[in-house]
Structure formats: C-alpha cells, structure tokens
Chain A
C-alpha cells in the first residue's frame, strides 16, 4: 500500500473492512509519516467527539411542545374547515335545488316519452313475406290508431296474434295490413 491510499484509509478507518484495516495498520506500523498522521487524526476525532457529543437540551421543553401542538391543532382545524366548506358546496342549498329541478325535468321527460310511445306489449317478429318487428314505433302507431277506431276488426295486432297461434303464415288479412303498414311507415 502506498502513502496516498493509506492517508485516505486513515481518515476512513471506521468505514473500512477488517481486511482493509489490517492493510492500513501494517502500513502505519512501517511508515513514520502515516503513523504520525494516524495519531493526529485519532486525537482530533476524540476531541471532536468529546466536544460535540455534549447533549443539548431545550431550556423550556413545555413551551416548545405547546408551540408545536398549537400548529398541529391549527392544521387539523384547517383540514376540518376545508372538509366543511367542500361538503357545504356539495350538499348546500343551491346544489340541492338544482338537483331537485333536474330530477323533476327527468321525470317530466320520462312521462312525456311514455305518452309519445305506448308501453311495450309484445315483442315478436312475424314472417309475412317481410320481417316485421311488432315492438316498432310504426306498429304501435297503427295499434294506437286502431284503439281510437275500435270498429276496425280484426286489428292488425289481433290478427297477427291469431295467425301466430294457428301458425298461419299465409294470412291474407295480416299481409294486407302489414303491407299497408309498410307502405305508410318506412320505419318498419
């Protein structure tokens, strides 16, 4: 080991591995200048430890704790007030009124939609030359029309139901009526 490395290891002696310490020790034993440096560094280390390790205590630990706890409680109150103001915004009167108004609007829109289109009664697909979905808007319109004029008999709905039951796929009445529907309502 050369002196340059030894100097570094003398300063870092506490951090060395046992093997590195052995190497440093054997160099110090044979090198006068490194031995002197080692003695000086050890002396300085002891001196610093003695001087700087003297524990420091607070003159007024109670006041110190109180200062901290005041800040802690302040921060907790702040947290609580942020929560309160947020919940005030979320659950406040204006928001509650707006929510109520929105709910009312949704109810009205729903009722309006229900009135515009009758409730679904049956959902069947009838093969009458063309596929017709009986829950389509056109079918309901035709049905509504028939309900207004009950003298039309049989209605397209009654006719289809009857044909389904008798498995009559070639009912001229149905087909005529569906053809009529198709002509009047392209949406089928």
Chain B
C-alpha cells in the first residue's frame, strides 16, 4: 500500500477501505501536526487540530479533486481549523498561556545542547507570533515557515496576491520588531545580572 500514490490511496479510501485511509494518515501526520503546531504553538491543541483535520478529510473525501495535490488540500483544512481556533475567544486565553519549554506530546528532533537555546527562542517566537492577526499569522506560517509559494498561499487562504503581500509585509515587520525587542530585553537582563 505504501507504494501507492496519494490519489490511488484516496480512491481506495473512497470505496470504504479504512486501511487505505490509515496509510494516508501515517504518511501525512507529521506534516499536519507540525503545521498545526506552528499556528497554535501548543502541542496538545496542535494534536487535537491535526486529528480533527484527518477526520474532516475522511468525511469530505468524496469532494476531493484529483487536479489538486492532497497536501494542498490538507494545508487548506488545517489552516482553516487553525484560523477558527485562533479566532475563537475561548482559545485566545489558551494562546497567551504558551508555557516555556512545554511541548506536551510533541518532542523536538534536536537533542543536543543547542536545542535548549533553540527551544527557548522558539517559545519566545511562538509567543510573539501570537500578537499577529490570524490572517497575518496564516500567511507568515505558510509562506515563511512552510515555504509555500505566494500563489499557493493565496489559493489556500482564498486571498488575492495583493492581500497576501500586504499581510506578509505587516507580519514580517511585526515579527522583526518583536524579535529585536526580545533580544534587547534579554541583553538588558543579562547586563543587570
């Protein structure tokens, strides 16, 4: 089954073959979880969103169009779920309680000493990116973190190229300013000690 293309597996799953769908989940779970994590900055929320994304994929499999890559469709599903999550008032509080070094069920693939420093920075960046609007965050994650093309970002978010650029501009500017601020704070704290 692992030799089959995504399209072939989707066709099998459409016939009710749940084993084929399991292969699809196993093949894409890492990328879906990473994507969700980049949006919400919390491992357990990211896992919940990833799970919901796969269930949504299963329920809407009959609407799958072969001309679109399965990953593009998954990007769309995950991004929409993450945007809903970020927009919901209840989860705004959850976004703010990003705990340093708390990765819940997820673990970094880095295990060296360098990971300690990177983990701290990552947590700080995740906290900072919580200051972006959901749209700004979406274009930032998809374009700068997932390395999708601007056209793909526009398609996934149903945004015009101009809208993508404008959101990207503000997101990058804000993130840059926040990183600078973060480093200045760290520096002054180090000087105080």
Q: Does B76 contact A (CB under 8 A)?
A: no
Q: Closest chain B residue to A72 by CB distance?
A: B58
In the assembly, what is the distance between CA of A60 and CA of B58, in Å? Answer: 21
Question: Contact partner of A54 among B33, B43, B110, CB < 8 A?
Answer: B110
In the assembly, what is the distance between CA of A106 and CA of B99, in Å? Answer: 76
Q: Does A32 contact B (CB under 8 A)?
A: no
Within 8 A of A (CB), among B102-135: 103, 105-110, 118, 121-122, 125
Contact present for B179 and A47 (CB under 8 Å): yes
Mind listing 21 A-B residue pairs with CB under 8 Å?
Answer: A11-B172, A12-B165, A41-B172, A45-B144, A47-B121, A48-B179, A49-B145, A51-B125, A52-B38, A52-B125, A56-B109, A57-B33, A57-B108, A59-B107, A61-B26, A61-B29, A61-B30, A65-B26, A69-B25, A72-B21, A75-B59
Q: Does A166 contact B (CB under 8 A)?
A: no
Q: How far apart are A11's CB and chain B's nearest CB, in angstroms?
A: 5
Question: Contact partner of B29 among A15, A45, A65, CB < 8 A?
Answer: A65
Q: How far apart are A171's CB and chain B's nearest CB, in angstroms?
A: 75
Q: A15-B165, A54-B109, A55-B30 known; A67 and B51 CB under 8 Å?
A: yes
Contact present for A41 and B30 (CB under 8 Å): no
Contact present for A52 and B122 (CB under 8 Å): yes
Contact present for B51 and A71 (CB under 8 Å): yes
Q: Does A185 contact B (CB under 8 A)?
A: no
Q: How far apart are A82's CB and chain B's nearest CB, in angstroms?
A: 13
In the assembly, what is the distance between CA of A47 and CA of B117, in Å? Answer: 12
Contacts of B25 in A (CB 8 A): 65, 68-69
Q: How far apart are B24's CB and chain A's nearest CB, in angstroms?
A: 10
In the assembly, what is the distance between CA of A45 and CA of B179, in Å? Answer: 10
Nearest 7 A/B pairs, CB to CB: A59-B105, A44-B176, A56-B34, A68-B54, A11-B172, A51-B121, A56-B106
Could you tell me the dominant secondary structure of chain B's interface residues? helix
Q: Does B169 contact A (CB under 8 A)?
A: yes
In the assembly, what is the distance between CA of A41 and CA of B171, in Å? Answer: 12
Contact present for B18 and A69 (CB under 8 Å): yes
Contacts of B118 in A (CB 8 A): 50-51, 54
Contact present for A58 and B105 (CB under 8 Å): yes
Q: Could you list which residues of chain A lie within 8 angstroms of chain B, going by C-beta atoms?
A: 8, 11-12, 14-15, 40-41, 44-45, 47-61, 64-65, 67-69, 71-73, 75-76
In the assembly, what is the distance between CA of A130 and CA of B121, in Å? Answer: 107
In the assembly, what is the distance between CA of A44 and CA of B122, in Å? Answer: 13
Contact present for A53 and B58 (CB under 8 Å): no
In the assembly, what is the distance between CA of A174 and CA of B122, in Å? Answer: 111
Question: Contact partner of B58 among A12, A64, A75, CB < 8 A?
Answer: A75
Contacts of A51 in B (CB 8 A): 118, 121-122, 125
Given contacts A60-B105, A71-B55, A72-B58, 20 further A-B pairs with CB under 8 A are A8-B169, A12-B168, A44-B175, A45-B172, A51-B118, A51-B122, A52-B38, A52-B145, A54-B108, A55-B30, A56-B30, A56-B37, A56-B103, A58-B105, A59-B105, A59-B106, A64-B33, A65-B29, A68-B25, A72-B21
Q: A44-B176, A69-B25 known; A55 and B34 CB under 8 Å?
A: yes
Contact present for B175 and A68 (CB under 8 Å): no
Q: How far apart are B141's CB and chain A's nearest CB, in angstroms?
A: 9
Within 8 A of A (CB), among B55-106: 55, 58-59, 103, 105-106
In the assembly, what is the distance between CA of A150 and CA of B105, in Å? Answer: 102
Contacts of B168 in A (CB 8 A): 11-12, 15
Contact present for A58 and B106 (CB under 8 Å): yes
Q: Does B150 contact A (CB under 8 A)?
A: yes
